[in-house]
Structure 1
Amino acid sequence: MRLTLPTPGLRLALLAEGARLLGIYCVTALTGYVFWRVGAPLPWMIGPLVAAAAMSMSGITLRIPVKTRPFGQIVIATSVGFFFTPHAVEAALDSLPILLGSAVMTAILGYATSVLLARFTGLDRISAFLASVPNGPVEMANLAHHYGRDPGPIAFAQTLRITAIVVFVPIVIYMIHGQFERPTSFEPAPFRPLALVLVACVGYFAARVGKLVRLSNPYFLGPLAFSAALTAFDVPLAHYPVPMLWGAQVLLGTWLGATFRRELLERAGQLVLVLFLTTILFIAVCTIGAASLALVVDMPWESLVLGSAPGGVTEMALTASVLGQDVALITAFHLIRIFLIMPNIPWVIARIHKAHPEKGT
């Protein structure tokens, strides 16, 4: 069997594409370093996000491959699982009523936001619902396609909300609380190459299994389930070196920032403004609700705010780790919300369609 080699033209194109991506990641990583040096919260994600968004909004075509995001998710998810010690799991189970109440509150506020969005933008009610209820951009865009809606505005709305939370929530908590201690699970660990390769391979395999069984967000939930289960049973695992965690954040931040394309904003017009305003309102009301809940339950307000924030589980778990909060508890908040919302989307959409058939929903 003869091995077909790439043609010189194809090799040149691949080299040019590789050089282009390397240049983009050098710029975003350098921005992350600058943010880190000045003491910004979540610097290795917010810095690349801001840099990529600025380049994209200025008209530079970034074209970040979608497949880069799962690699960042796998590294972060596996590391987040290391926080699920037996004590942390027991504490999360003891707080289950609070977790459920927070999930219900966020879901109801998301639905209320969708009503406002539909009223002021002209979006049909189903599209507005998919754009407003917290979940991952990819998952909700896929649901939009399934229900015959344009996935573009929905993916943009979900990404905008996650981005706003990643940027604003850590800054607000920093301003109120001040500097946090570094989380011990992200401290430098001994470099053991073979053990590290094994963890990486098993994490990737867990992600593929998650995709096979159609988990929502398989590249996060699969590796998370793997590392959390082993950690909960006190099975020792090799930890990723801190530079790898920084690199994973650069991948995620660059991908998020690149989704803010100039042509989309120009074409969407008023929709973007209303999306931004309703997103800020949604985040503010969730934050106020969570902070108010801290007055009546025995839980730090920072944990309640991060747990109730309508962000993605990947980004919020990472934010919790950087802010020195209980990562297992914050992750549990968002997992409960995912498993509360996702199974109920079909019947909610059916009710919306029945209630508003005359509006094309």
Structure 2
Amino acid sequence: MKTLYTLLLGTLGGWAAWWLGLPLPWMLGPLLLVTCLALKGIPVQVNRQANRFFLGVLGFWLGTGFEAGLLSELLTWYPSVLLMLLSVLCTLLLNTWVFKRLAGLDTVTSVFSSLPGTMNAVVIQGDRLGGDARWIAIAQTLRIALVVISTSMIFYFMPGQALASPTIETGGWTDLFWILLVPVGWWTAKQLRLPMAEFLGPLLVSALLSVTLVQIELPGWVMIVTFVVLGSSIGSRFFGTALSALLKVSGYAVLATTLGMLMAALFAALTSKLTGIPLSHAFLSLVPGGVGEMALIATAAGIDPLYIAYIHLIRLFVLIISAPLLSQLLVRHQRKQDRDQQSTR
């Protein structure tokens, strides 16, 4: 019931944003309204499984635009991947410095507050290593929310760009049966231990069908529901956060996110110059946001969402496989600091 209640509020926020003419109204409207309600202490929540299912719907929808020719094109995107990895490293080091030196946090909390990975995994792992879970959770939630809002505004005001919302009257009711393949793809990817199985599995299923020339078209209202669910989900993460704690973290989180966006812009310009990929495509693939939200913005902006999703998924995959090594390094660093403190006593 709480999920339904939250999504109804999110829909109201989406309608208000649409009426006001805001960019990406069906995602930003729910995000802003639900965030405000959460900070006021109103119990809002989006069921985690519901959020992951609609992330799968998004992945399935993105896969419908896959063509056989893209297989060979993927191989030409490796320079973008290398530049993305360098961008992530620079952003991580810079933001860790912000949280450690300016905010005065310990190393573990600083690193995991800066890590642009899957939020739940980052918070859990940071907590296990002795970091401040509340700081990490607030910093990560603010990062995602700020990136979604700022990126939407950038593309809204960018010359030659426009953010279009999906229309309700698209496709037929029979096309809804395709959504039954979403949990199938999710389960299969989970068995194969693929990163972000709920997103990547359905994407691969619909991409395979598209390559075999199966015509798939989801109704536009399904995508509006997806916008509302993802926006409401981000906003609901602020529930239980004291305003004083949010204000304490927000200044440093805003600074870290701003530096991350500037780093993304710098490497996007470099990527565009070296590879010929349009600046808007490169920038959206490098901003430190979630793969689902960035793919939605790409679609609304008329940008190839598969390129965006591909780069972001590679980022998440690299972070997942490197997390154990990073954890070991942080543990050793923490032990060394403890020994140094004991020796000076």
Task: Name the TM tier (shorter chain).
Answer: 0.7 to 0.9
Matched letter for residue 236 of structure 2: A
CA contact (8 A) 2:129 2:327 kept: no
The one-character-per-residue Cα deviations of 1:93-136 (angstroms, maximum 9, x if unpaired) are 22222222223322332233123212223332122222212112
Give the superposition deviation at 1:179. 4.2
Q: Secondary structure at the match of 2:273?
A: coil
Which residue does 2:58 correspond to in 1?
76
Q: Does 1:163 align with 2:145?
A: yes
Deviates further, 144-153 or 297-306:
144-153
Judged with a 3 Å threshold, the aligned counterparts in structure 2 of structure 1 residues 206 and 116 are, in CA distance, closer, same or farther, namely: same
Q: Percent identity?
A: 25
Q: What SS does the aligned partner of 1:177 have?
A: coil
Which one of the candidate residues 224, 228, 231 is aligned to 2:207?
228
SS of corresponding position for 1:260: coil
Q: Is the 8 A contact 1:46 1:253 kept in 2?
A: yes
> Is contact 1:100–1:336 with CA below 8 Å preserved after alignment?
no
Equivalence for 2:231: 253
Q: Which amino acid is the alignment partner of residue 86 of structure 1?
A: A
Aligned-partner SS, 2:182: helix
The structural deviation recorded for 1:23 is 4.3
Q: Name which of structure 1's ranges 210-219 and 129-138 shifts more when overlaid on structure 2.
A: 210-219
Task: Give the aligned CA root-mean-square deviation in angstroms.
Answer: 2.6
Return the letter of the residue paired with 2:172.
F
Query: Who is 1:302 aligned against?
Result: 280
Residue 56 of structure 1, CA deviation:
1.2
The answer to whether 1:211 aligns with 2:210 is no
| Inter-partner Cα distance in structure 2 for 1:35 and 1:268 | 24
- Judged with a 3 Å threshold, the aligned counterparts in structure 2 of structure 1 residues 63 and 187 are, in CA distance, closer, same or farther, namely closer
Pick one of 111, 120, 141 that aligns with 1:129. 111
Match of 1:341 in 2: 319
Q: Distance in 2 between matches of 1:301 and 1:125?
A: 34
Show the counterpart of 1:196.
Answer: 176
Gap regions ≥5 residues in structure 1: 1-17
- 1:145 Cα shift? 4.2
1:176 to 158, 168, 183: 158
CA distance in 1, matches of 2:69, 2:163: 20
The answer for the alignment partner of 1:65 in structure 2 is 47
1:313, 1:247 → 2: CA distance?
18
**Do the aligned partners of 2:39 and 2:242 also contact (CA within 8 Å) in 1?**
no
Output the CA distance in 1 between the equivalents of 2:9 and 2:38.
Answer: 13
Letter of the structure 1 residue corresponding to residue 206 of structure 2: S
Instruction: Tell me if 1:277 matches 2:255.
Output: yes
| Separation of aligned partners in 2, 1:155 and 1:209 | 30
Could you tell me how far 1:288 is from its partner in structure 2? 2.8
Deviations, residues 242-292 of structure 1 (Å, cap 9, x unaligned): 101100111111111111236344235533321222122222222233134
Separation in structure 1 between the aligned mates of residue 109 and residue 68 of structure 2, nearest angstrom? 41
Say which of 27, 43, 52 aligns to 2:9: 27
The answer to whether the aligner puts 1:312 opposite 2:290 as a matched pair is yes
Quote the Cα distance in structure 2 between the aligned partners of 1:64 and 1:90: 39
CA distance in 2, matches of 1:23, 1:277: 34
Letter of the 1:137 partner, please give it.
M
Aligned residues: 339
Aligned to 2:219: 241
User: Which deviates further from its counterpart, 201-210 or 264-273?
Assistant: 264-273
Please, which runs of 5 or more residues in structure 2 have no aligned partner? Answer: 340-345
TM-score normalised by structure 2 residue count? 0.88
1:286 and 2:268 are equivalent in the alignment? no
